[in-house]
Amino acid sequence: MKTLYFHQTPYVSPMADKVSVINPFYCAPYSITLQINTEKGVTYSENGDRLFYVDDTFFTLHNRRVLYDDTQKPIVTFYKKAVTLHERCKVFKGESTDLSQLLFSVKKINKSISPGITKLNVFLPNNQDKKKSDFRVIICGSKNSCTVYAGESPNILAKMENNGGFNVLVNPNVDYAFIVALLMIVKDVKVGTEIAPGIKLISSVLSVALGN
């Protein structure tokens, strides 16, 4: 089991209340460090114990995947739906397909934020108008790192660094099963790594000047 190292320790403000989306059982009163083997879809604790795993198949023809705990109990089911302008994913409790068991949905924002940044908005079922997100995920580069925030606030719930796998630090009182589910979506989402137009122009000028 690899030791988890973060280049910079992120400021994570203590949450006064539990942030529970999947189950309060997964809210620890202390920070949790996790490692996700993105190739196998397996999540380990800091001690190397397996906590969660995703079934071996990728999104099937029905765009369905299931996250299990180590006792083979289904925790959540992911349903991905390709839309013309946006990527969306709906996450249900257990192996349910019933809308009454919807836990949250994730929407990729294609509107440009800044070069190399991808944003995911996360909505809870009671957020009908979806004018503001309940949570948001900011992904840097080609998934080099990402941060999960509470709504549009600066409050960090979890932070991930990609060192050949997802090394994750989860805030106290935050549902770490929810964080793992989000990061399994991050693993599959297409990210934008386009270079800013100004940088492209400079690169083109340099190429001409150097005769490339």
For residue 134, what pLDDT is reported? 97
Query: Alpha-carbon distance 139 to 144, whole Å?
Result: 8
pTM for the predicted model, two decimal places: 0.81
Query: Alpha-carbon distance 170 to 21, whole Å?
Result: 14
Tokens 């990210």 appear where? Answer: 191
Does the CA dihedral 152-153-156-157 come out positive or negative? negative
Residue by residue, pLDDT tens for the chain (212 residues) are 433 333 333 334 445 589 999 999 999 999 999 999 999 999 999 999 999 999 855 555 457 889 999 999 999 998 876 443 456 899 999 998 888 999 999 999 877 678 889 999 999 999 988 889 999 999 999 999 999 999 999 999 999 999 999 999 999 999 999 999 999 999 988 886 544 443 333 333 323 333 44
DSSP string, 155-176: -EEEEEEESSSEEEEE-TTBBH
For residue 56, what pLDDT is reported? 55
Which element (helix H / strand E) includes 199?
helix 197-209
For residue 129, what pLDDT is reported? 87
Span 118-159, pLDDT tens digits: 999 999 999 988 889 999 999 999 999 999 999 999 999 999
CA distances from 16 to 13, 20, 28, 32, 40 (A): 9, 12, 12, 16, 35
